[in-house]
Amino acid sequence: MQPRRDNMNLKIIIFILLSVGLLSSCEYAYTYSYSVTNSSDTTVDVKMKTSRIDSVFKLTKYDTRILFMTEHGIEGSKGPYSRDVNKDLVIFTVTKGQLQSKRDYLKNNNWAFEKGVYSATITNAEF
């Protein structure tokens, strides 16, 4: 009866090794979003281009909107991770009437990042 017991022990050991291997190599795909709040005194136009989207959005006074969502591919388990916004955004301009924002939204420091959400607030001071 010894061979049967050895066979069972071998199966248990293989199962444990496979389980540990799978758990330690887990990778994740997180969803990221770009959210903009218009805190200026009037409606603004946001022109945005990504690899998939080319659009203009109107944001009324005090409106907050998620403009798009994306993924950064397979990542480690400690994410979501911030990355250069230029990898997601090709064009991002804000206009109020005939005035264009002086703020460069293609720079990382103009976006706050928390838990997979890139957010920016449009203010009167940037025009």
- pLDDT digits 0-9 by tens, 9-22: 666 666 565 555 54
Please give the residue that has the higher pLDDT: either 52 or 59. Answer: 59
The 10s digit of each residue's pLDDT in 54-111 is 999 999 999 999 999 998 888 887 888 899 999 999 999 999 999 999 999 999 999 9
Least confident of 29-33, 43-47, 119-123: 29-33
Sign of CA dihedral 85, 86, 91, 96: positive
Using the predicted structure, report yes or no on whether residue 1 has a pLDDT greater than 50.
Answer: no
What pLDDT is attached to residue 74?
Answer: 82
Cβ contacts of 48-54, under 8 Å, gap ≥ 24:
48/89, 48/91, 48/92, 49/89, 49/90, 49/91, 49/92, 50/88, 50/89, 50/90, 51/90
What pLDDT is attached to residue 91?
Answer: 97
The residue type of 24 is S
pTM of the model: 0.75
